[in-house]
Structure 1
């Protein structure tokens, strides 16, 4: 598997707009990306302007297909309006062990 964890700081007043986009993105991923195993957005109560995006793909090819999909292209267009900054908490890489391993 191939994945990452990203920390995004959402601009003040843009949280609802970001989460609306994230919900649409999750639907597109669910309906059209069979190699995307997880695409989760997490909130942490202690960090009200922060969301964490956890992405897991079957392999790097699945990730490459994901970044060509409409939501990723749209996020590139709107990111500067919604996000103050971001940090790769866990950079993209391959899993060492997973409950999904056979």
Structure 2
């Protein structure tokens, strides 16, 4: 299992445009990418310009493939100028 978290701080006033694009990217990822197992989009009314993503993939290669998909590249191009900050963190499952 390979987990990815992403935190977006948006430029003020962009949430209403950003969020539908992000939700479309998430739905398409789960539907079209067999190794994208989960893709949650979270927001907090107390932080109106902040979006948090939690994504699960079968492995790191599946996440790399996600970044190369047409739907991700389209989302990235459309939202690039809306983002003030973006932090991506990845986690591999601990083997016991």
Provide the TM-score with structure 2 as the length reference.
0.85
Unaligned residue ranges in structure 2 (runs of 5+):
none
Q: Are the aligned partners of 2:38 and 2:55 in contact in 1 as well (CA < 8 Å)?
A: yes
Shift in Å at residue 83 of structure 1?
Answer: 0.7
Moved over 3 A (4+): none
SS in 2 for 1:20: helix
State the number of aligned residues: 95
Provide the TM-score with structure 1 as the length reference.
0.80
Shift in Å at residue 62 of structure 1?
Answer: 1.2
User: 1:100 matched to which residue of 2?
Assistant: none
Q: Where do residues 1-102 of structure 1 align in structure 2 (5 Å cutoff)?
A: 1-88=1-88, 91-96=89-94
Unaligned residue ranges in structure 1 (runs of 5+):
98-102
| Per-residue CA distance 1:54-75 (angstroms, 9 max, x = gap) | 1110111211221111222123
